[in-house]
């Protein structure tokens, strides 16, 4: 668990824009680099800060006998070096807007079985340029991020808390991840709970939680849930040459990211925070083609009537 705070000056009429990506699986042959570049370019143009919630890497190695046949892009011995260098080169144009990279099960597996922290090496390379506006932080499987708004005296007047967990379990074709949210909402107090992993796109509100603030007022606090989709395309099943999602009726969501916009404003002499959350996807997905065939109609012969 890591907990990191980002401070930003409170200015009326300004909006802090964030983008949450997950499950990019960059070094997979099925990773949708075209959609990823389109969305990162959009974030760069908007000066929108980027958060990555795990599985930036696919990190399938040659020794993985089950997956290497169809998932491996590199055939050289220094596979991890090649993967890291490719990711770093792709992300370099966006390093000034990337705030944080969390760990997913694919990075966790490499750390556990190979003893190499590929996220630490990636962030070190991206941070090597001292001219960058900030240092990219790398995190764990679950993390707290606080976005703190400060006044002219550098005093905190508002904050927005995000709890990130990469996610666990299978695709959840029926519950679609809502069981995960219900579990987290009973133990996590945050404005927004984020998960990825299931390659699904979901946004929902929880039941509000009641609390007493520092002034003694009893208040209700709403919490929101977002599950971000993947940039990994649906791929052929290794054995049956059919799409994995079709076989198990768990089609992945369209490639996209979670958009978070935080706008401070004043009401009744108090600071408030307006929030706008949505999932932005690339609205295309080719899943097949329509085939056309001509039918030859057979005329029914009339029988002679007696």
Task: Specify the pLDDT at position 166.
Answer: 96
Instruction: Provide the pLDDT confidence category of residue 245 given band limits of 50, 70 and 90.
Output: low
Q: Is the pLDDT of residue 131 over 80?
A: no
Q: For the residues 249-276, what does the mean pLDDT come to?
A: 88
The top-scoring range by mean pLDDT among 57-66, 177-186, 294-303 is: 177-186
Instruction: Provide the pLDDT confidence category of residue 149 given band limits of 50, 70 and 90.
Output: very high
Q: Is the pLDDT of residue 202 over 60?
A: yes
Task: Specify the pLDDT at position 151.
Answer: 87
Tokens coding 42 = 């959009």
DSSP string, the chain: -EEEEEEEE--TT--EEEEEE----TTSTTB-HHHHHHHHHHHHHHT-EEEEES-S-----TT-TTTHHHH----SS-HHHHHHHHHHHHHGGGTTTEEEEE--HHHHHHHHHH---HHHHHHHHHTT-TTSSSPPEE--SEEEEEEEEE-TTS-EEEEEEEEEE---SS--TTTTTHHHHHHHHTT---SEEEE-SS---EEEEPPPEEEE-TTS-EEEE--EEEE---SBPP-B-TTTSSBHHHHTT-PPPPSEEEEEEEEEEEETTEEEEEEEEEEEE---------------PPPPPPPPP-
Four-residue CA torsion sign, 178, 223, 105, 202: positive
**Least trusted range by pLDDT, from 26-30, 203-207, 246-250, 297-301:** 246-250
List the domains of the chain with CATH numbers. 2-281 (3.60.21.10)
Instruction: Please give the angle made by the CA atoms of 76, 117 and 54, to the nearest 5 degrees.
Output: 100
29 versus 143: the higher-pLDDT residue is: 143
Query: Can you give the pTM of this predicted structure?
Result: 0.88
Q: For the residues 8-27, what does the mean pLDDT come to?
A: 92
Task: Specify the pLDDT at position 71.
Answer: 60
Residue 98: φ, ψ to 5° = -85, 120
């Amino acid at each position: 668990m890591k907990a990191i705070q980002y401070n930003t000056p409170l200015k009326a009429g300004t909006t802090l824009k964030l983008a949450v990506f997950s499950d990019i699986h960059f070094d997979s042959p099925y990773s949708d680099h075209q959609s990823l570049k389109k969305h990162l370019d959009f974030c760069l143009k908007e000066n929108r800060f980027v958060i990555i919630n795990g599985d930036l890497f696919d990190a399938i190695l040659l020794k993985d006998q089950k997956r290497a046949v169809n998932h491996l892009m590199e055939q050289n011995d220094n596979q991890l070096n090649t993967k890291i260098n490719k990711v770093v080169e792709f992300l370099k144009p966006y390093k000034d807007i990337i705030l944080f990279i969390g760990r997913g099960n694919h990075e966790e597996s490499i750390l556990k079985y190979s003893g190499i922290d590929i996220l630490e090496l990636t962030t070190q390379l991206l941070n090597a340029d001292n001219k960058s506006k900030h240092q990219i932080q790398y995190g764990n499987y679950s993390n707290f991020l606080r976005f703190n708004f400060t006044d002219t005296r550098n005093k905190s007047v508002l904050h927005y808390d995000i709890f990130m967990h990469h996610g666990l379990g299978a695709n959840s074709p029926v519950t679609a991840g809502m069981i995960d949210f219900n579990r987290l909402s009973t133990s996590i107090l945050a404005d927004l709970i984020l998960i990825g992993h299931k390659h699904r796109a979901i946004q929902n509100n929880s039941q509000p939680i009641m609390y007493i603030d520092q002034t003694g007022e009893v208040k209700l606090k709403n919490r929101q849930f977002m599950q971000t989709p993947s940039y990994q395309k649906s791929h052929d099943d290794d054995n049956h040459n059919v799409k994995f999602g079709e076989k198990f009726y768990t089609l992945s969501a369209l490639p996209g990211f979670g958009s978070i916009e935080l706008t401070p404003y004043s009401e009744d002499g108090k600071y408030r925070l307006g929030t706008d959350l949505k999932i932005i996807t690339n609205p295309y997905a080719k899943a097949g083609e329509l085939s056309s065939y001509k039918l030859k109609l057979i005329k029914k012969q009339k029988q002679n009537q007696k």
